[in-house]
Amino acid sequence: MKPVYIIIPLLFLAVIFSSCGYHNPNVYSGPAKSIYLTEWKNRTSELSIHSKIYRSLTKWYQKSSSISVVREKSSADLILAGEIVSIDLPSLSFGIDNTTTEVKVKLRVRYILKEISTNKIILEVPDETWTEEYFVGLSSSQAGDNEEEALDTILEDLSQKIYRNTVSGIPRL
């Protein structure tokens, strides 16, 4: 038998059984944990924003098979609380006729994640600002839709970041 016929299958098996050590940071593989999400305090005039954050966070935590969202604080291992500090819509640029063409949504939040049994802080962010730009269309309804889309983008990115930081910060005993 030629050595090539032996070497090629051995190399193939070596590649299959070797591991590159890659670990997906979005997957929590430790013991099952439950998290209680509080309704965030809303210090803005944007009435439904706290509900949108809750729904977005819940959606992210439901992606994990080891972390479950619970409705009662007493049955939770972790608690996530937050506050919407402010939301601003300052103008960025103006068109030829001196009308606003682009606006930037700025959302300031703060939040904390604690392990209930030990009262240990896993994640604390005392002040964080998220920004998203959007274009103002010719009609006011289009501008409102663009503003809503920009805010939804911020909330999705914020929720994803909190989820990732939760997954990386939970002790894996």
Q: What is the pTM of this model?
A: 0.75
Q: DSSP secondary structure string, 22-57?
A: ---TT---SS-EEEEEPPPEE-SS-TTHHHHHHHHH
CB 28 within 8 A of CB 66: yes
Q: What is the DSSP string of 48-86?
A: THHHHHHHHHHHHHTT-SSEEEES-GGG-SEEEEEEEEE
Q: Is the distance from CB of 146 to CB of 134 less than 8 angstroms?
A: yes
Q: Where are the domains of the chain?
A: 36-169
Residue 37: per-residue pLDDT: 97
Displacement of CA 39 from its chain's centroid (Å): 16
For the segment(s) 36-169, the CATH number from 3.30.160.150, 3.90.1150.10, 3.40.50.2300, 3.40.1190.20 is: 3.30.160.150
Phi, psi of 83 (to 5 degrees): -145, 135
| Local confidence pLDDT in tens for the 173 residues of the chain | 566 677 777 777 666 666 555 455 556 667 889 999 999 999 998 889 999 999 999 999 998 888 999 999 999 999 999 999 999 876 555 566 666 677 788 999 999 999 999 999 999 999 999 999 887 765 544 555 778 888 999 999 999 999 999 988 887 65
End-to-end CA distance of the chain: 51
Maximum CA pair distance of the chain?
A: 83
